[in-house]
Amino acid sequence: MDSQFYHTGSLSQFIKGRRKALGLTQQDLADKAGVGLRFVRELEADKPSMQMDKVNQVLLLFGYKLGPVPMDRERLINEKS
């Protein structure tokens, strides 16, 4: 896995895209990750509050884990002004 790879979309887009690329249903993903179907649905719906350990269970299937991603700090500051 390339540690310099950063997905520029949302986490929900990433999960859904990887799941579909592997031909998995939401139920398949839930079963393989050991989480509930409702959790997968909420994750793909971009629910704002998710349990990090469960998100990591899902990401692990794709060879990823949650971590800090660099952002343009100046742009963020200017957007709030």
Q: Give pLDDT tens digits for 1-41.
A: 443 444 557 899 999 999 999 999 999 999 999 999 999 99
CA distance 21 to 72: 30
- Smallest CA-to-CA distance from 40 within 64, 62, 7, 16 is with 16
Domain ranges of the chain: 11-80
Which regions of 9-73 does DSSP assign to beta strands (E)? none
pLDDT of 81 > 70? The answer is no
CATH number of 11-80: 1.10.260.40
